[in-house]
Amino acid sequence: MEALVARARVLGPVRGLSDPLLRAILAGSDPTPDRVQNGVVLFGIGDPTSCWYFLLSGQVQLYLTHQDGSVHPICSLSAGAIFGELNFPKHNCAARVLKPSEFVRIPQQHFCAIYNKHADQIHQFIQVIQDMLADQTIYEPVGDWPPALMNGTEPAEWNYQNQPAPFPLNVNQILQCEPSTSTAYSGEHRRKFDDIAPDGRMDEANMIGLGNQVTFEARLVEIGCMLRHAMRLQRPDLICDHAHRGKVFASSMVGSEMIDWLLELALSSGTNMSTMSRFQVMGMWQALLEHNILMHVSGEHRFTDQMTFYRWNIEEWQRALDREEEEKDPKSMQEEPGTPQPGDKAFFDPVTMHTQASVSTDELISAVLFLNTAGLDALFRMILTKAPHDRSPEELDLVYTELLHVKALSHLSTMVKREMAAVIGIESHTHPGTVLYHEGERGKCWYIVLKGAVEVSVRGKGIVTCLREGDDFGKLCLVSDAPRAATIILREEDCHFLVVDKQDFNRVLREVEANTVRLKDRGSYSVLAGLAEKMIEYVLETRVDADDATDTLLEDFVLTHTIYMPTNILCNFLRSYFIGKIKINGGDWNRRLVAKRRVVRFLAFWVDTLGLHFFLDPAANAFIEELYCLLLEDCRLIAGLEDVVAQLAQIRVTREAAMRVLARRPSVVLECGVYSSLSPAPSPVLPSDTANQIIHFSDTTSFAMSVRLDRTAAEIVRMARQRMRNIAPAPDRMRLVEVKSNGERIVFSPTDISISTMVGLNSKLYAVSREEVHTLVATPDQSGPLESVHASVMEYLSSTELAQQLFVMHSEMFEATDETELVTQVFGRDQFPGKVPSNLDLLLRRFNEVQYWATTEILLSPPHRRLATLRKFIKIAIFAKENRDLLSLFALTLGLSNIAVSRLDSLWSRLPAKMRRQFGEFEALLDPGRNHRAYRALVESLHPPMVPFVPLLLKDLTFIHESNKTFFSGLVNQEKMHMIAGVLRSFRKCKAHFPHQVYAESKIGDTQNLIRNFRVIDNQRRLIELSYQIEPKRTRRPHY
């Protein structure tokens, strides 16, 4: 009984019950829970009421059946629910198990006796069926958040502030999140959101409601149906009877032949996966095997590229999913009879697979991409179940790659992570309430949460914290050899943990201490840390003359040196190395000649890597001429420098061309907050370019002035002060303040630059005294449009053309953005004098603009056009993905996933199921799990040129910067520089020559003017108010 009480205690909905009362309720029950599979009916309408039910895990649906046989769902209950009848001898509804469940049966008479004594304490924790039937607000939620109550209400102790923060909507919020810690609102969160009043809190955190319409398992079953159908059409000989070692395996397939066929299918379907390997394809089959869609003839759980035999096992899965779909929403199956549903028999017959419609190429491409993402995860889990000595080098590389994205391991060096890849394992648990270990036990393992969540309980204090994906625990007692300091209890179902054995942990820990700093010869060792001067000397002597395309140390240095070695100091070192002040091994003239060649070659590589942005630095620009003069003097004394002079002369030619570009007439980038048609993209915006900015004063007056982008906030304040009518405060007492549409005020630092590109979409810029800052408020004209401004654009242009023009504009803005701007943004603009990340500001501003455009247009569309507008945006997103414009794809997806739109069930229920499924796949790409594993798999499957999801790259850089020190005891942390350079390289690789010239200049010009700027609402509170006007919020149940 104590074990049962302990397990019940950790379930959130009953935590408010006292221990004596919980023991009293369970006193008359069997301490061994009943286990029931999905599909089992617990009781029907009219059955005698014999007991109450305490659900420990799983999910149960309450429903009514009508005379015509249709089913009307009431609600779904999950772990922690206590439900039953109080005053009726027979059940008024039926109950069916939706997910495999465990529950305790409490005798009816016993429960009623307890209830009669303690009704005031118990009532808020139980679900009385007759009360739920009496409620007129009945609808079917999805999922299980918060636990135990799925009918639109929550227990009294439930506190929204204690829940995970929503996935950030605004780019600035994305940059503040750590990988694997963001949580998205799904369908059930939208229900709960209706219980929150639209107060000012909505302005503090914009919200996303990801409501994937198709579960992961259902999508895998559908893909299994597609692949089996395609296999029977293309290669029916693969499924046949096989004889092996005296046994005959009927209707089976050979593992190696399955990989051959799927690899050929993936390459021929146009999925841009020309580099796909057999190892990746093996992972795809492993994903289907894990979910029992495919089965090994002898029950093995690992798919192998060998003479092993497998069979399709779709039928039972498909029948169960069909039943679940019908139970969840029987009316939706009849709304659009011609619309394909997940697993619809019009497309797939799971038994005979006779079909009238073949699988389209687009569906196969989507299926292969989805399966590739699922396959990497399945491979990762499968490898971790192997013993260390059974893991192949290819498998170790995959595990190492995955460990790079685990937050708990981010502080470890590359070599330690590689060693971890060989010894780390996996441990899985199904039921919430399971105890991993108890306080006081001896420590055996270090745990890292891979999926799910756990609660940390300390004797005498109760539950002190909750750990989620990426967090680790159990390490301290392994180091100190002390007993466990807390009890760890599973909070959610189906939790997975990375596990490191104590012996392996201690061995790796010792190697961390022994190998913190290394600087040895190339080939066998890596550079982990060193003095900045020694780093450049090492690069000059070992990398400049090398011809190894796989060695990135030279490029790493060029991309990241400004973080720890300013350009002027680097140029001074190169000058000293060139003229011989730096001691060179050997010291003869031949070696000095080699040194001069190395400096010029390094300079050529530096110029080639940074391009135009190299010449924006005055120190680097002047160094070319200085080095040229030194080289001409050396030519008089040393023979054999002709080729070096020619190389440096070519650099000077490049410099002259660059200076002509930099000397162009300044362009107007922003015209009073609107992106100007005179903006130079795809050429970069320069510090000398201007923005016509409106400056407001506290007395409601304003004026417009031209501001160079390299002007600081202090300089702008001084210029604005001259235009003040009244007596102006002293310059040091004035502040430059941005007031957003939601009323938020941001005071700029006096040294901030490129202010105009940093200001939000509907924000105003004020120059006021510091005493007046708190009096500034948003004005009505910042609220955005009152009706749809761009409806005519949506009608005039097709989805294809809109997506194409968005792609053209975004590719130009992306080309104009240099990777060094990402470093400036993350490390701080004040750390890099003279560098202005204006192009990056404009790109992020555009991302927010497109995102809010989608949200605004849906909410402001007339009712008769709203569904068509939603469909058009999803089609634009589909074409954006085909164009490899990931910036547009995710901006639109996030815009349509805004909680103000995603909560409109009356709108989404009318969307065709095929389109809902497609949008659900886009939402799945935004899943932050495993450090955005789904998005990274998508990027790996695409070839450049592409426009990447830039906010995620900034998030990666922010995480690397904040979780790793730049210096160790005065030595540069080269591991950190290598990780930063890796992100910058991925940014560079996305760039290539975008085919702008394919489209007629006149047509692009006409349509670009239509999509260049959007009038949007960026105030989350107003978006919510519009959403409530379209679909009023649901009524809270008064008796809970």
Interatomic CA distance for residues 836 and 840, integer angstroms? 9
Q: Of 852, 857, 884, 851, which Cα lies nearest the Cα of 872?
A: 857
Strand 71-78 to 51-65 pairing: antiparallel
Q: What is the DSSP secondary-structure string of 492-550?
A: SSSEEEEEEEHHHHHHHHHHHHHTSS----TTT----EE-HHHHHHHHHHHTTT---TT
Whether omega for the bond prior to residue 342 falls within 30 degrees of 0, making it cis, is: no
**CATH number, position 117:** 2.60.120.10
H/E run at residue 232? helix 216-234
- Indicate if 840 and 738 belong to the same structural domain: no
- Indicate if 141 and 234 belong to the same structural domain: no
Res. 918 pLDDT band, cuts 50 70 90: confident
Q: Of 405, 384, 414, which Cα lies nearest the Cα of 396?
A: 384
- Indicate if 808 and 897 belong to the same structural domain: yes
| pLDDT score of 157 | 34
- Indicate if 251 and 381 belong to the same structural domain: yes
Where among 630, 662, 694 does a domain terminate? 662
Interatomic CA distance for residues 142 and 210, integer angstroms? 12
> How many other C-beta atoms are found inside a 10 Å radius of the C-beta of residue 92?
17
- Indicate if 23 and 139 belong to the same structural domain: yes
Q: Do the beta carbons of residue 685 and residue 709 sit within 8 Å?
A: yes
Residue 1 confidence (pLDDT) above 60: yes
Instruction: Give the pLDDT mean for 288-312.
Output: 89
| pLDDT score of 181 | 34
Q: What percent of the chain has pLDDT over 90?
A: 33
Is 264 among the domain residues? yes
Res. 553 pLDDT band, cuts 50 70 90: confident
Domain that holds residue 835: 791-948+990-1028
**CATH number, position 686:** 3.10.20.90
Interatomic CA distance for residues 537 and 543, integer angstroms? 10
Give me the helix-helix angle, 618-637 and 589-610, nearest 10°. Answer: 150
Interatomic CA distance for residues 73 and 94, integer angstroms? 10
Residue 523 confidence (pLDDT) above 90: no
Is 556 among the domain residues? no
Residue 425 confidence (pLDDT) above 90: yes
Is 97 among the domain residues? yes
Res. 135 pLDDT band, cuts 50 70 90: low
| pLDDT score of 322 | 59
- Indicate if 762 and 811 belong to the same structural domain: no
CA 882 vs CA 364, 625, 803, 996: distances in Å? 14, 47, 9, 16
Is 346 among the domain residues? yes
- Indicate if 369 and 424 belong to the same structural domain: no
Strand 41-43 to 82-84 pairing: unpaired
pLDDT in tens, 39-91: 788 888 888 888 999 988 888 888 887 766 677 788 888 888 898 888 778 88
| pLDDT score of 325 | 55
Sign of CA dihedral 409, 414, 416, 419: positive
**CATH number, position 650:** 1.20.870.10
Average pLDDT of the chain, as a whole number: 80
Three-state DSSP state, 360: coil
Is 394 among the domain residues? no
CA 746 vs CA 705, 764, 876, 958: distances in Å? 21, 11, 34, 21
pLDDT in tens, 449-479: 998 999 998 888 888 888 988 888 988 888 7
Higher local confidence (pLDDT), 714 or 184 = 714
**CATH number, position 829:** 1.10.840.10
pLDDT in tens, 148-185: 333 333 333 333 333 333 333 455 454 444 333 333 44
CA 172 vs CA 169, 206, 469, 759, 821: distances in Å? 9, 11, 23, 12, 16
**Strand-by-strand arrangement of the 240-244 sheet:** 240-244, 247-254, 309-312, 294-296
Q: Do the beta carbons of residue 858 and residue 903 sit within 8 Å?
A: no
- Indicate if 811 and 890 belong to the same structural domain: yes
CA 604 vs CA 243, 594, 597, 622, 1027: distances in Å? 65, 15, 11, 15, 57
What is the domain count for the chain? 6
pTM, 2 dp? 0.72
- Indicate if 1023 and 884 belong to the same structural domain: yes
Q: Do the beta carbons of residue 73 and residue 63 sit within 8 Å?
A: yes
- Indicate if 922 and 806 belong to the same structural domain: yes
Is 883 among the domain residues? yes
pLDDT in tens, 857-888: 999 999 999 999 999 999 999 999 989 999 99
- Indicate if 673 and 658 belong to the same structural domain: no
> How many other C-beta atoms are found inside a 10 Å radius of the C-beta of residue 573?
19
Give me the helix-helix angle, 216-234 and 278-290, nearest 10°. Answer: 120
| pLDDT score of 253 | 93
Q: Do the beta carbons of residue 456 and residue 463 sit within 8 Å?
A: yes
pLDDT in tens, 253-270: 999 999 999 988 887 765
Q: Of 874, 872, 870, 860, which Cα lies nearest the Cα of 907?
A: 870
Is 737 among the domain residues? yes
Instruction: Give the pLDDT mean for 98-119.
Output: 84
Where among 125, 158, 191 does a domain terminate? 158
Interatomic CA distance for residues 423 and 720, integer angstroms? 63
Is 396 among the domain residues? no
DSSP one-letter code for 15? T
| Weakest mean pLDDT among 550-554, 559-563, 569-573, 1000-1004 | 1000-1004
Where among 130, 158, 186 does a domain terminate? 158
- Indicate if 819 and 763 belong to the same structural domain: no
